[in-house]
Chain A
Amino acid sequence: MKHGKRISLAGMLLGLLALVALAGPGAVAVAQEPIKIGVIQPLSGPVAASGNFVANGARIGADWVNERGGVLGRKIQLVIEDNKSDPKEAVTAAEKLIVRDKVPAIIGAWGSSMTLAAMPVVAKHGVPLLVETSSSIKITKQGNPWVFRISPPSEMEAAGLEKVLAQDLKIMNTDFLAVNTDWGRGAVGAFGDVLKKYGGKLHAVEYLDQAATDMYAQLTKIKNSPADWIMVTTDVGQIALILKQAAELGIKKKILTTGGSSAPNKLITLAGPAAEASYHIVIFLPWFPEAMPDAALAKRFVDEWNKRGLPFEGLTESFRGHDAVFTLAKAIEIAGKAEPTAIRDALKKVTWTGLNGPIKFDHEGQSWPSIYMIQIREGKITLPPFMRRS
């Protein structure tokens, strides 16, 4: 009997130990568990090039954060989901990240239509969404308190370059060829308003489907308009096709692409001589890192990107992934915990200089990035003279 009592006492002690062992590590292990950050990008489909660039930029951002010891002593782990260039998939990706992976914040979703589709999902669950690329003005005007954006809406792009458009490039009569999404339509509206403001005029306005490859019909109409400029808003794959097909149809108008998705180096590869003399609005200057607000950071990012063997043309978009990851990392530090509401409130206090420039969110969750323009001349990227004075 004494033997049994001792055993049962030992058993009780063992049981107690087991209970502590089960409950305890819960509190201890969490401190070493990585902080997951969701990333939704188009990794397949027509705009897959851009999505992959941003995702790789985010990976560099995460690696650099972790090299410095992570956030709150924990490493950052990116959970990257593919939205297949489709707004419906963006919704699915957001649900999966929030419900299954329980991420406290999401970066995404590249395309304006995809981001707009995911916004109700993050609002429903209360998870902050850091928008890194989308340009539709609707994203920050819907009053969704969970949405923050570091990329410029088309209105900001147009306003930021108004002087350049009116006085340096002297665009008085232009056609517009835009992708038929929230992004493209928004750009037409935004630039159209700025044109009207300084007395310019929009002539032929044509749209193309995101997956379209043959733009002859639209370009034939544009050819017949009296305008001497064409403004183009779509991603690099379609811009390349548009440049080639415009040359094939004998169109001699000057071309300006907006939206920062032109990846000019890829354009030179894909379109060759058809890209000559075209202007491109970009948000990052990987060819002239010394011209960026934080020149040292820009140079380091470009070097790391090249070291990883990633295509140089991706640098015009990938910086967004890096800036987004760092912005969230700083927000989590300020918040003191990886919890959605705390991160949301902390984002309002974040202020630092990223690859593009100063990042600080206004009352609508919009940050105010710098806008740049380059020109392709003789197969090389050049900084136009009017850009150099600023």
Chain B
Amino acid sequence: MDTLLQHLLNGIILGGTYALLGIGLTLIFGIMNVVNFAHGEFYTLGAFAAYFFLALLGVNFYVGVAAAIVAGVLIGALCERFVLRPLQGENIDTVMLVMIGVWIFMQNTELLIWGGIPQSIPHPFSPRPLIVGPLHVNSIRIFVFVVAFCLIGASHLAIQRTKLGKAMRATFQDREAAALMGVNIHRIHTVTFAFGSGLAAAAGALLGPIFLVYPSMGDLAALKAFSVVIMGGLGNFMGATFGGLMLGVAESLGAGYISSGYKDGIGFIMIIFVLLFRPAGLFGRAQRIG
């Protein structure tokens, strides 16, 4: 029973970060209709930015993580303005190809700047675990989980309650109508992409100190983000949140009770089942809504 609880705990914490990745992508993929293959690279960017601020400049941990998120938002905005905006109105496949190009460009730039050797990021949390009964959990993981959920909550509020959020939802429901209503759709596109990329960078900056940082770390993260988005339903915020948690728990239990070597394949097996029985995603509806 203890083992099961430990596996569940591990899975939920991991799932929180998957949820963060998934929400960023569901905004971009589900709402903007951009197949963002570079999403994993913003995750890596967040991690390397955190490495730069924390390991190289020695900045305060929390400031450094925040700075890394800001870096993700800014580069996301630049990417949208100069790469995606000229492509507005183009075929979804064209945009997908361009984003693959961005993926390759970003990863190789990182390889050029930082080299391929994995780096570690210092953090102020104790390496000794907190022990609650039979469960062991590391304080930095709790921190990451809490921050992830705060970000998810804040994003949800931003999209549902603010005027900007309303403008975003309106733009993606019907561009022409929103433009007629006076919404600056160019600005909305930039903000949405920057927002989604910022969330990915946050996941990277939070996970970087727990794991290791190297240029290809985003590849697996991107694939899992896509699993989460497809399972939760494109554009579905709640779906991405629950999808992320489900993936984390499924991976943890699968690795614990079925086979640890193929843990990362569980996400993809789940996608296959979901697409077979509920193609719109577990929480998705037939149409895309914000």
Q: Which residues of A contact B (CB under 8 A)?
A: 42-46, 48-49, 51-52, 84-85, 180, 206-209, 211-214, 216-218, 220-221, 224, 237, 240-241, 244, 247-250, 269-270, 272-274
Contact = CB atoms under 8 A, between A and B. Distances in A.
B260 A217 contact: yes
Interface of B: 3, 6-7, 10, 14, 111, 115-118, 120, 127-129, 131, 136-138, 207, 210-212, 214-217, 219-220, 251-252, 254-256, 259-264
Nearest to A244: B127
Contacts of B210: 213
Contacts of B7: 217, 220
B142 to A, nearest CB: 12
Nearest to B252: A217
Contacts of A208: 260-261, 263
Nearest to A274: B127
B214 A237 contact: yes
Nearest to A181: B261
A211 B116 contact: no
Nearest to A86: B216
Nearest to B107: A44
Contacts of A240: 120, 212
12 contacts: A44-B216, A45-B216, A206-B260, A211-B220, A213-B210, A213-B212, A217-B252, A217-B260, A220-B7, A221-B260, A248-B136, A272-B127
A209 B263 contact: yes
Contacts of B216: 44-46, 84-85, 211
Given A220-B256, A250-B131, A49 B211 contact: no
Nearest to B119: A270
Contacts of A209: 261, 263-264
A48 B263 contact: no
A52 B215 CA distance: 14
Contacts of B217: 211, 213
A49 B216 CA distance: 13
Given A49-B117, A52-B117, A221 B131 contact: no
B116 A51 contact: yes
A139 to B, nearest CB: 21
Given A44-B111, A52-B116, A220 B261 contact: no
B263 A49 contact: no
Given A237-B212, A240-B120, A216 B263 contact: no
Contacts of A42: 116
Contacts of A250: 129, 131, 136
B118 A48 contact: yes
Given A207-B261, A237-B214, A270-B120, A220 B6 contact: yes
A305 B224 CA distance: 40
Contact of A248 (B129, B212, B255, B259): B129
Given A48-B118, A213-B207, 12 more contacts: A43-B116, A46-B118, A49-B116, A51-B116, A207-B259, A208-B263, A214-B10, A216-B6, A217-B251, A241-B212, A249-B6, A250-B131
A221 B214 CA distance: 28
Nearest to A272: B127
A207 B10 CA distance: 17
A249 B14 contact: no
Contacts of B220: 211
Nearest to B138: A248
Nearest to B130: A248
B136 A249 contact: yes
Instruction: Identify which of A212, A214, A249 gathers the most chain B CB atoms within 10 Å of its CB.
Output: A214
Contacts of A249: 6, 129, 136
A157 to B, nearest CB: 22
B99 to A, nearest CB: 21
B120 A269 contact: yes
Contacts of B111: 44
A214 B14 CA distance: 9
Nearest to A313: B117
Contact of B263 (A43, A44, A217): A217
B255 A218 contact: yes
B105 to A, nearest CB: 15
Contacts of B262: 180
A221 B4 CA distance: 10
Contacts of B251: 217
Contact of A241 (B6, B117, B211, B252): B211
A247 B139 CA distance: 13
B108 to A, nearest CB: 9
A272 B261 CA distance: 27
Contacts of A211: 216-217, 219-220, 264
B263 A248 contact: no
Q: Which 3 A-B residue pairings sit nearest by Cβ, starting from the closest?
A: A48-B116, A207-B261, A217-B255
